[in-house]
Amino acid sequence: MTEFETGEIIGLFIILLVIFILPFLVKKIEEDLEIFLFALGIIAVTITQQWSLILISEAFIEPIIITLAVFIVGILFKFLQGPLARNVNRFVNKVGLKSFIFLIIVVLGLLSSIITAIIAALILVLIVNALNLDRKNEINLVVLACFSIGLGAVLTPVGEPLSTIIITKLKGEPYHAGFWFLFDNLWLYILPLIIFIGIISIKLVGETQEENREHREKKEENLKGILLRTGKIYLFIMALVFLGMGFKPLIESYISNIPYYSLYWMNILAAVLDNATFAAAEIGPVLSLAQIEAALLGLVIAGGMLILGNIPNIIAANKLKIKSKEWAKVGVPLCLSIMLFYFILILV
């Protein structure tokens, strides 16, 4: 490795360290994470001297599919949220709360790969507001449902930025990843886990207790909010494209040599930063399929531990005023248990 190449790697490690630390120390960065990651993506590509017209074109084109999906479904949701809210408790009265919770967790998990994780999280917030659960049961429901949404969203490039960026990075040799690449390779792990989360919700979410519920202001979706959210997603995916290209030397020099089971546990760090950012830095065509599968499973499972781990977590916690400690009390033991089980599974 030449001196210049060594300088590149050191620079990328510094950028990675900055990504891990600053969002926790600076509240403004946490609030405007998209701009922060976009700037670091620009720096990473500049350090590694990988600017090209192809990269710039890719950065503008790749976010289009998911941002269009977010915008279109967001508009539909704006008009449907009123009728949906009015009919939630009517449906609960027909099927029972336990059955309803199971259905919500499983259905939102499965649909998130189509309607996007963002819209699934917004629907979850609307439903939770209508249910009037007490605080403990509300938090249990939200953590479980967001975990399910994050799992399901990884199955198609429409679901969330993580899956979009993975397909972008693996669309060439040797994988030629298309729309169903992630579904084909992960469904056997993801779908049973979504159903399992639905089953344990029957035990963890109890009956409604309206008198214990905290008051929250309920704001309806508006066009300005939809446009702002769509713009942030577009910028976020552009940032991930640049970070993915910028971190290419790091992937080829170090990550490609890490055994798949080590990658799996290393990605527990996705609990403290959105898992799409990790995917942009880690995943590349030089990795074996076993490494890719293990890395992605580690990312999507660890992403449910804490609020910062995934986009639906951030949306739901913000709108429902759930604190980090409240989330971690449920998310950490749940996800660690599942990670241990799946570690044994992938070894077998």
| Angstrom distance (rounded) from CA 305 to CA 333 | 8
Q: ω before 83 within 30° of 0 (cis)? A: no
pLDDT per position as a tens digit, 214-244: 445 455 667 888 888 888 889 888 887 888 7
Q: How many CB atoms lie within 10 A of CB 262?
A: 15
Coil, helix or strand for 307?
helix
Average pLDDT on 276-289 reads 83
Mean pLDDT of the chain: 85
More confident residue, 191 or 87: 191
Structure confidence at residue 211 (pLDDT):
47
> What six digits make up the tokens of 230?
């769509």
Residue predicted with more confidence, 258 or 190: 190
Distance CA 189, CA 182 (A): 11
| Residue predicted with more confidence, 115 or 62 | 115
Among 60-69, 98-107, 192-201, the range scoring the smallest mean pLDDT is: 60-69
The string of DSSP codes covering 125-172 is HHHHHHHT--HHHHHHHHHHHHHHHHHHHTTSTTT-HHHHHHHHHHSS
Which range, 140-144, 201-205, 313-317, has the best average confidence (pLDDT)?
A: 140-144
Q: What is the pLDDT of residues 6-43, one digit of tens each?
A: 778 888 888 888 877 787 678 788 778 788 889 998 99
How much is the pTM?
Answer: 0.78
Q: Is the pLDDT of residue 164 over 60?
A: yes
Q: What is the average per-residue pLDDT within 196-208?
A: 86
Q: Are 142 and 126 in contact (CB under 8 A)?
A: no
